[in-house]
Amino acid sequence: MAQLKNVHYYPGHMKKAQDSLTKLVRLCDLVIEIADARAPLSTRNPALKGIIGAKPHVLLLSKLDKADPAIAAQWKRRFLDKEGLCVLLGDLKKERFRNIEALLGPQLAAKRAKEARLGMKRQPARLLVMGIPNVGKSTLINSLAGHKLAKVANRPGVTRAEQWIKIGESLLLLDTPGILPMNYPDGSQAVRLALLGSIKEEVLPNDDLAVALLSYLKAEYPRCLGLRYGLADISSLNGDEILSAIAVKRGFLLNGGAPDESKAALALIKDFQGGELGRLCLERP
């Protein structure tokens, strides 16, 4: 994916949240790190690894309903092979995640065994949910609760402070604000995060994002563009030219009749985010 140079976007509340996470990790039994199945590498914040340390840790890849299932499965295998990570994969809005305690059984087994050994009453499992903005942390918590407890919206930075939420007698979840990396040595990571709605819309120009997305889709998923926009052969076009062609097909024209590429860029990004281009991943293992 094309790169954007010198992206720096690190709102003040994220620094505060990152500092307090270190203390909160000590209080919990297990960390659930959420990343987006459409870009599982780019949507993991490398700083979290140090914060999580040796605490039991599960990686949950969200939004599988919008991701290329074959590639997402490859990512799952890769995290298991390279980091020994337990990876769950799915649509967080679906029923399956209501049963997270069973899904996490092996990770919580040591805690339960210790309670039994000491003859203690079963304590609620304390799960800390962390990840970058907009990956679905609050959605998971609402899904577990079966109703809306935490505020959810399709934009970054919705959750601003940590919040403990009790689910039944056996689970205590901590919802935390999304934390972005402080910088992006690989500028294409920032492009992916903006396309996935984890970096605020205003930070990177839509036209650049759209051209980067089109160049990637042309290489990896050429059919999806033809299907969605009725474009015949895009093999000889570059990203800019495909964007123009979409504007023309859609009837997005400026006063003088020239293609309105900004409007086409916005429509393309919304289509991608809404899953209208099909189930796609922005990076491969």
Ligand X SMILES: Nc1nc2c(ncn2[C@@H]2O[C@H](COP(=O)(O)OP(=O)(O)OP(=O)(O)O)[C@@H](O)[C@H]2O)c(=O)[nH]1
Write out the residues near ligand X by the rule CB under 6 A. Answer: 62-63, 65-66, 91-93, 131, 133-139, 152-154, 156-159, 177-178
In terms of CB distance, is 88 or 211 closer to ligand X?
A: 88
Instruction: Give the shortest CB-275-to-ligand X separation in angstroms.
Output: 7
Instruction: Give the shortest CB-281-to-ligand X separation in angstroms.
Output: 14
Residue 135 binding result from Mg ion, ligand X, none, given CB thresholds of 5 to 8 Å by partner type: ligand X
Residue 15 CA to its chain's centroid (Å): 20
Residue whose CB is nearest to Mg ion in the complex, by number: 159
Pairing type for strands 57-62 and 30-36 reads: parallel
Locus of tokens 């015949």: 232
Locus of tokens 């799960």: 127
Q: Does residue 138 interact with Mg ion by CB under 5 A?
A: yes
How far is Cα 34 from Cα 32, in angstroms, rounded to an integer?
6
In terms of CB distance, is 65 or 271 closer to ligand X?
A: 65
To which H or E segment does residue 196 belong?
A: none
Q: Which residues pair with 175 in a beta bridge?
A: 129, 163
Instruction: Give the shortest CB-135-to-Mg ion separation in angstroms.
Output: 9
Instruction: Give the shortest CB-240-to-ligand X separation in angstroms.
Output: 30
Size of the site for Mg ion (CB under 5 A): 4
Q: Which residues pair with 60 in a beta bridge?
A: 34, 88
Rg of the Cα atoms in the chain: 21
Residue 76 binding result from Mg ion, ligand X, none, given CB thresholds of 5 to 8 Å by partner type: none
Q: Which residues are within 8 A (CB) of 147 and not within 5 positions of it... i.e. 6 or more apart?
A: none
Instruction: Give the shortest CB-259-to-Mg ion separation in angstroms.
Output: 37
Nearest to 42 by CA among 192, 247, 242: 192
Residue 134 binding result from ligand X, Mg ion, none, given CB thresholds of 5 to 8 Å by partner type: ligand X
| 261, 51 Cβ separation under 8 angstroms | no
Residue 66 binding result from ligand X, Mg ion, none, given CB thresholds of 5 to 8 Å by partner type: ligand X
- Please count the CA atoms within 13 angstroms of the CA of 162 that sit on its side-chain side: 20
Instruction: Give the shortest CB-123-to-ligand X separation in angstroms.
Output: 26
Restricted to residues 139-158, the positions that interact with Mg ion (CB under 5 A) are 158
Interacting residue ranges for Mg ion, rule: CB under 5 A:
137-138, 158-159
